[in-house]
Structure 1
Amino acid sequence: MSAQPVNPNVPPDHLTIEIDGQSLVVPKGSMIIQAADKAGIPIPRFCYHDKLAIAANCRMCLVDVEKMPKPAPACATPVMDGMKIATRSEKALKSQRNVMEFLLINHPLDCPICDQGGECELQDLSLGYGRSVSRFQERKRVVPDEDIGPLVATEMTRCIQCTRCIRFTADIAGTYELGGMYRGENLQIGTYDGKPLTTELSGNVIDVCPVGALTNKVFQFRARPWELIARESVGYHDAMGSNLFLHVRRGEVLRTVPRDNEAVNECWLSDRDRYSHQGLHAEDRAVRPLRKIDGRWQQVSWAEGLAAAADILRAHPGDELGVLAHPATSNEEGGLLAALADGLGSQNLDHRIFNRDFSDGAVAQPFALPLAEIEQADVIVLVGTNIRHELPLLHQRIRKATRRGARVHAVNPVDFDFAFDIAGKTIVAPSQLAGALGDAALREAASNATRAAVIVGGLAENHPAAAKIRAAAADFAAATGASLCRIPQGANALGLARTGVLPGKRDVVGMFAEPRSAYVLYGIEPGLDFADSAAVQKALNAAKVVAFSHFACQSTRDVADVILPIGALPELEATLTNLDGVEQRTQPGGKLPGEAREGWRVLRALGGELQLPAFDFTDLAGARALAANRQPTGINRGAASPAPTAGHADGLELAVSAGIYRTDSVVRRAAALQAHPLNVPARIVLNPADAQALGLAEGKVAKIGSADGTAALPLAVDARVAAGTAWIESGHGATSPLGAGRVTVVSA
Structure 2
Amino acid sequence: MSAQPVNPNLPPDHVTVFIDGVELAAPKGSMIIQVADKAGIPIPRFCYHDKLAIAANCRMCLVDTEVGGRAAPKPSPACATPVMDGMKVFTRNEKALKSQRNVLEFLLINHPLDCPVCDQGGECELQDLSLGYGRSVSRFVERKRVVPDEDIGPLVATEMTRCIQCTRCVRFTGEIAGTYELGGMYRGENLQIGTYDGKPLTTELSGNVIDVCPVGALTNKVFQFRARPWELIAKESLGYHDALGSNLFLHSRRGEVLRAVPRENELVNECWLSDRDRYSHQGLNAADRATVPLVKQGGEWKEATWAEALSAAAAILRENKGDDLGVLVHPATSNEEGGLLAALAAGLGTANIDHRIANRDFSDAAVAEPFALPVAEIEQADVVVVVGSNIRHELPLLHARLRKAQTKRGARIHVVNPVDFDFTFAAAGKHIVPPSRIAEVLGGAELRGALQGATRPVVIVGAIAENHPQAAAIRAAARDFAAATGAALCRIPQGANAVGLARAGVLPAARDVAGMFAEPRRAYVLYGIEPGLDFADTASGLKALNAAKVVAFSHFACESTRAVADVILPIGLLPEIEATLTNLNGVEQSAHAAGRLPGQAREGWRVLRALGGELGLAGFEFTDLAGARAMLEGGRQVQVRAGSAGAAGEGALELALVPAIYRTDAVVRRAAALQAHPLNVAPRIVLNPADAAGIESGAVVKVKGAHGTATLPAVVDARVAAGAAWIEGGHGATAPLGAGRVEVVKA
State the TM-score bracket (shorter-chain normalisation): over 0.9
SS in 1 for 2:541: helix
Q: Does 1:178 align with 2:179?
A: no
Q: Does 1:30 align with 2:30?
A: yes
SS in 2 for 1:307: helix
1:703-728 C-alpha deviation (Å, 9 max, x unpaired): 11111111101111111000011110
- 2:343 corresponds to: 339
1:276-323 C-alpha deviation (Å, 9 max, x unpaired): 000000000000000110001010000000000000000001000000
- 2:139 corresponds to: 135
Q: Does 1:458 align with 2:458?
A: no
- Structure 2: distance between partners of 1:375 and 1:274: 23
Aligned ranges 1:335-734 → 2 under 5 Å? 335-403=339-407, 404-636=409-641, 640-648=642-650, 650-691=651-692, 693=693, 695-734=694-733
So what's the TM-score if we normalise by structure 1? 0.98
Q: CA deviation at 1:630?
A: 2.9
- Choose which of 233, 240, 243 in structure 1 pairs with 2:237: 233
- Structure 2: distance between partners of 1:630 and 1:491: 18
Q: Does 1:54 align with 2:58?
A: no
Q: Does 1:255 align with 2:254?
A: no
Q: CA deviation at 1:442?
A: 1.4
- 2:45 corresponds to: 45
Question: Contact 2:509/2:638 (CA < 8 Å) preserved in 1?
Answer: no
So what's the TM-score if we normalise by structure 2? 0.99
Are residues 744 and 226 of structure 1, via their aligned partners in 2, closer, same or farther at CA, if it must alter by over 3 Å? Answer: same
Question: Contact 1:499/1:628 (CA < 8 Å) preserved in 2?
Answer: no
Are residues 6 and 128 of structure 1, via their aligned partners in 2, closer, same or farther at CA, if it must alter by over 3 Å? Answer: closer
Are residues 708 and 50 of structure 1, via their aligned partners in 2, closer, same or farther at CA, if it must alter by over 3 Å? Answer: same
- Structure 1: distance between partners of 2:7 and 2:18: 16
Are residues 140 and 2 of structure 1, via their aligned partners in 2, closer, same or farther at CA, if it must alter by over 3 Å? Answer: closer
Aligned ranges 1:69-148 → 2 under 5 Å? 69-148=73-152
Q: Which moved more, 1:433-442 or 1:15-24?
A: 433-442
Are residues 600 and 741 of structure 1, via their aligned partners in 2, closer, same or farther at CA, if it must alter by over 3 Å? Answer: same
Q: CA deviation at 1:625?
A: 1.7
Q: CA deviation at 1:573?
A: 0.4
- Structure 2: distance between partners of 1:6 and 1:633: 63
1:231-281 C-alpha deviation (Å, 9 max, x unpaired): 000100000000000001000000000000000000000000000000000
SS in 2 for 1:711: strand
Q: CA deviation at 1:3?
A: 9.1
1:568-621 C-alpha deviation (Å, 9 max, x unpaired): 000010000000000000110000000000000000000000000111111101
Q: CA deviation at 1:445?
A: 1.9
- Structure 2: distance between partners of 1:58 and 1:713: 51
1:546-583 C-alpha deviation (Å, 9 max, x unpaired): 00000000000000000000000000100000000000
- Choose which of 154, 159, 162 in structure 2 pairs with 1:150: 154
1:432-466 C-alpha deviation (Å, 9 max, x unpaired): 00001122121122232110000000000000000
Q: Does 1:317 align with 2:318?
A: no
Q: CA deviation at 1:11?
A: 2.5
Question: Contact 1:335/1:626 (CA < 8 Å) preserved in 2?
Answer: no
SS in 2 for 1:376: coil
Letter in 2 for 1:17: V
- Structure 2: distance between partners of 1:660 and 1:3: 58
Letter in 2 for 1:674: Q
SS in 1 for 2:666: coil
SS in 1 for 2:536: coil
Question: Contact 2:579/2:591 (CA < 8 Å) preserved in 1?
Answer: yes
Letter in 1 for 2:578: E
- Structure 2: distance between partners of 1:668 and 1:627: 32
Unaligned runs of 5+ in 1: none
Give aligned-pair identity as a percent.
Answer: 79
SS in 1 for 2:632: helix
- Structure 2: distance between partners of 1:625 and 1:444: 50
Q: CA deviation at 1:6?
A: 8.5
SS in 2 for 1:162: coil
Letter in 2 for 1:168: F
1:91-143 C-alpha deviation (Å, 9 max, x unpaired): 00000000000000000000000000000000000001100111111100000
Q: Does 1:206 align with 2:207?
A: no
Number of equivalenced pairs: 742
Question: Contact 1:331/1:627 (CA < 8 Å) preserved in 2?
Answer: no
Aligned ranges 1:4-23 → 2 under 5 Å? 4=4, 7=7, 9-23=9-23
SS in 1 for 2:553: strand
- Structure 2: distance between partners of 1:406 and 1:361: 33
- Structure 1: distance between partners of 2:564 and 2:113: 57
- Structure 2: distance between partners of 1:742 and 1:132: 71
Letter in 1 for 2:678: P
- Structure 1: distance between partners of 2:224 and 2:444: 52
- Structure 1: distance between partners of 2:519 and 2:708: 18
1:62-93 C-alpha deviation (Å, 9 max, x unpaired): 00001210000000000000000100010000
Unaligned runs of 5+ in 2: none
Letter in 2 for 1:526: P
